[in-house]
Amino acid sequence: MILSHMTNQQPALDRVFHALADPTRRAIVERLNRGPASVSEIAEPFPMALPTVVQHLRVLESSGLVRSEKVGRVRTCRLEAAPLTRAEGWIAEQRAYWEARLDRLEDYLKILQAKEKGNDEQS
Amino acid sequence: MILSHMTNQQPALDRVFHALADPTRRAIVERLNRGPASVSEIAEPFPMALPTVVQHLRVLESSGLVRSEKVGRVRTCRLEAAPLTRAEGWIAEQRAYWEARLDRLEDYLKILQAKEKGNDEQS
């Protein structure tokens, strides 16, 4: 399992989680979830300079979460679902392991309780 | 929706996503998912110096993903599920919005197709 950190998916997951580790970038993802938008539309609600927003958009693009296309003078950004699904998949896998371990602990406790009861009845 | 980046949950999400943005830290989460482990057990499979692993563990602890307890000379680390669930929840919310938007697009296409068909039949 430890070796999995050398597989090909890892750099992609690194970039997606890094992109999501910032409140402005998560808010941009939330905005683009409502539909494609131009860079100035995206920047409008944020209390920061346009170049700062553009910098955040670059991080999102390099993670694959956002694609952009320039037509004339307007650059339109849209969300790509695949990287989000990949990140969600990794977390869901961890939860599945976690829950399986809890189930095993619960089974073990039941066995202990049954033994305990057996001992009580014998004494 | 944009305002959500100022709510209290945000710093916690920042730290969890930042903690997950590194292959060694994700591998430590995978390892601890199999059960609690001492720092030296955690470090053993990694081709890096112990202080580097300890540094990664600190980042995981500051995100809340890992809790540790020192008994005698051994520090034992265990996974905390809540921060993972929180991160998964944020992504799942995005996916729900995304899928709802796809559904609306699909409905719209069906309306267009029905209109098209109506026009064809009239002509």
pLDDT at B8: 66
CATH class of residue range B2-122: mainly alpha
Domain residues of chain B, as ranges?
2-122
pLDDT at A116: 87
- Could you tell me which of A114, A28, A84, B65 has the C-alpha nearest to residue A122? A114
- CA distance between the termini of chain A: 47
Whether the predicted pLDDT of A18 surpasses 60: yes
**Beta carbon pairs, A and B, within 8 Å:** 115
pLDDT digits 0-9 by tens, A74-91? 999 999 989 999 999 999
pLDDT at B28: 97
**C-alpha to C-alpha distance for B46 and B26, rounded to whole angstroms:** 12
Taking only residues 63 to 82 of chain B, the set having a beta carbon closer than 8 angstroms to any beta carbon of chain A reads: 79, 81
Q: Does B14 touch chain A (CB under 8 A)?
A: yes
* DSSP strands (E only) in chain B: 37-38, 66-71, 74-79
pLDDT digits 0-9 by tens, A53-70? 999 999 999 999 999 999
Average pLDDT over residues A100-106: 81
What residue type is B73 in one-letter code?
R
Lowest-pLDDT choice from A66-75, A100-109, B2-11, B62-71: B2-11
Q: Which of B63, B98, B101 to mutate to test the interface with A (most CBs of A within 10 A)?
A: B98
Give B94's contacts in chain A (Cβ within 8 Å). Answer: 29-30, 33, 84
Give B38→chain A minimum CA distance, Å: 16
Give A2's contacts in chain B (Cβ within 8 Å). Answer: 27, 30-31, 45-46
Cβ pair B65, B29 in contact under 8 A: yes
Kindly identify which residue of chain B lies nearest to residue A101, measuring between CA atoms: B34
**Tokens linked to B71:** 């008994």
- B11: Cβ–Cβ under 8 A, 6 or more apart, which residues? none
**Tokens linked to A51:** 């170049």
Contact B94 A84 (CB under 8 A): yes
Cβ pair A29, A61 in contact under 8 A: no
Kindly identify which residue of chain B lies nearest to residue A20, measuring between CA atoms: B17
Give B17's contacts in chain A (Cβ within 8 Å). Answer: 17-18, 20-21
Kindly identify which residue of chain B lies nearest to residue A79, measuring between CA atoms: B98
The chain-wide mean pLDDT, for chain B, equals: 89
Cβ pair B94, A30 in contact under 8 A: yes
Give A29→chain B minimum CA distance, Å: 8
pLDDT at B123: 64
Q: Is B67 exposed, middle or buried (0-12, 13-18, 19+ CB in 10 A)?
A: middle
**C-alpha to C-alpha distance for A18 and A4, rounded to whole angstroms:** 19
Q: Does B6 touch chain A (CB under 8 A)?
A: yes
- A39: Cβ–Cβ under 8 A, 6 or more apart, which residues? A50, A53, A54, A57, A68, A75, A77
Q: Give whole-number Cα distances, B66 to A23, A27, A65, in Å.
A: 22, 27, 27
pLDDT digits 0-9 by tens, B12-55? 999 999 999 999 999 999 999 989 999 999 999 999 999 999 99
**C-alpha to C-alpha distance for A92 and A97, rounded to whole angstroms:** 9
Compute chain A's Rg from CA coordinates.
24
For residue B118, what is the enclosing H or E element?
helix B81-122
Q: Does A108 touch chain B (CB under 8 A)?
A: no
Percent of chain A with pLDDT over 70: 93
**What does the buried/exposed string (b/e) look like for B68-90 if buried means 16 or more CB atoms within 10 Å of the residue's CB?**
beeeeeeeebebeeebbeebbeb
